[in-house]
Structure 1
């Protein structure tokens, strides 16, 4: 990239930050209620599509009820997490049924039950994770400046779509499991950490331009992997990225969960002490057939995150607990059984 381009992009980033601060002060979309001091959460992104497919859920007594009522009233889940893709295939209920409008309707449903909302913006038409960070098709020919503009516009659009439903997200992830950056190859961290940092800041500033109270998250997989977190989060910060929280995923087995929790908590403390960032465990899960171990795992990580130094452990979210065995081509880490009743896994959230 030419020096003139770099100077222009730096000026754009500064202008975006200033605009965000002005709009946050004058435009004042404020949260209706404070986020919980500790989020006990569930990613419910598949719910809308599953209901469209005819799925329903029972509680442990075999009584059919609204899945959100079961999560909140039976397991003390106070927060939900919902992913947003840019232009998903809306005919594919299992995978693609979450554009901004459908996500906002689901978020409103949760908010109306008194639950807080986290959004995970994938900046893709499909899954974004450590192995794939594919640009939305409509953005595929954009240069980097256009890509930053698209991130800004899409983020503001999603936030305003939520606002139209009366929902103020408490947290928004700028990307999902961005271990090697996002929007490849322009924002691939191992190729251009500066670009990745600019994309994170653009998303952060776009969120703040609509809701100054919403906290932003950079979310990486493998919460036990301190080396990757130091390289990624440290690289972002050294390149001037602005965001609020470090997010982590953790999917251990029944045999290694205790070790992985210990490593993840050590990594969380490292993020707090080194970078001054609070930590959110944005995704956890374990095979539904290991429900007893899963319950112990949830209990342990919930307790240890809650007790992180300085109150900097903000919460734990179970990923798609409403999934039944084998849902969507073989996902087996939900917390519901094929008979429609829950496993014991979510009992780990109970105080």
Structure 2
């Protein structure tokens, strides 16, 4: 071989090795970090119809009035969560969210390409860890009647949605129920009865569409002992569900999110490995005045949920981002005083 041919051979070999290394470097991140294109980036907007009815106007960053749902979609939101009360009042903050209003908003959201989650409170107003009051119409019912009430109400609302062309992707049976629901009958002090009520909600949901995923939801998503206690009891009492839903509010825990975000991630992964279920942060929020902190917290929560193995971390939902303080008095919204969305919501982009 001549010197000239030898040099040409060496150059070709080096170029080939370089190209192979470049292709490998481009391929490895994609293979080692699979993308979850089905990740739910959500907003609970139960106040929206009342805000619009009272004349509240939503603005884009350039000052142009714009539909709130479109503003949310522009920021990466692809999922809308809607609560349902049984026989609500007309109070703008604690009422509404009737079957009819829920159907109307679900249709509107779906028409924008949004995915839908329905959150049954099984009450005439807010149900949460501090209050789980029966609807007035159910107060004097026996436990057997209560079970039928849960089934009928769930089936009725989901049937109305289906008839309007909406089949939700997720349904919550109960809202933040570490103490149970429909007190005192469905208290966790009598978990066997709570299990029967939850299973009635599950059965009604699956009767509408077996593909709907049923969520059981408790608060303090960073509190692993709390979750193990509750879901161990749920397992022992044969509760039927598909997804473990978590709330995560560092503000209410009176901490900075950096103090317990690792605990949230640990709990998410532990729920999946311990119970074989999927997980989802169905409520999250932070002080609307702390835009950078809220942005950073959301990015961290999304990262934590996405880190759950096998894409079993389904998504993150902000609770009432559009609920401006001037209208609602709620501190953990994600809207500016000028009617424009908070830059914190940009955390949902990409």
One fold, TM greater than 0.5? yes
User: How far apart, CA to CA, are the structure 2 residues paired with 1:175 and 1:278?
Assistant: 17
**What RMSD, in angstroms, separates the aligned Cα atoms of the two structures?**
1.3
User: How far apart, CA to CA, are the structure 2 residues paired with 1:93 and 1:326?
Assistant: 13
Kept after mapping to 2: 8 A contact 1:193/1:239: yes
Partner of 1:160: 159
Residues paired across the two proteins, number: 313
CA shift, 1:326, in A, is 4.3
User: How far apart, CA to CA, are the structure 2 residues paired with 1:92 and 1:299?
Assistant: 34
Return the TM-score normalized by structure 2: 0.87
CA shift, 1:148, in A, is 0.2
1:199 to 179, 193, 197: 197
Instruction: Give per-residue Cα distances to partners, 1:113-161, cap 9 Å, x unaligned.
Output: 1100000000000100000000000000111100000000000001011
SS at match of 1:321: coil
Kept after mapping to 1: 8 A contact 2:264/2:304: no
User: How far apart, CA to CA, are the structure 1 residues paired with 2:186 and 2:43?
Assistant: 29
CA shift, 1:95, in A, is 2.1
Q: Answer yes or no: is 1:101 the counterpart of 2:97.
A: no
Partner of 1:86: 86
User: How far apart, CA to CA, are the structure 2 residues paired with 1:327 and 1:270?
Assistant: 39
Partner of 2:307: 307
CA shift, 1:210, in A, is 0.7
User: How far apart, CA to CA, are the structure 2 residues paired with 1:50 and 1:221?
Assistant: 26
SS at match of 2:80: strand
Kept after mapping to 2: 8 A contact 1:36/1:78: no
User: How far apart, CA to CA, are the structure 1 residues paired with 2:260 and 2:42?
Assistant: 20
**Structure 1 residue ranges (4+ consecutive) displaced by more than 3 angstroms after TM superposition:** none
CA shift, 1:327, in A, is 3.2
5+ residue gaps, structure 2, are: 1-35
5+ residue gaps, structure 1, are: 1-34
Q: Answer yes or no: is 1:261 the counterpart of 2:270.
A: no
Q: Which has the larger radius of gyration?
A: 2
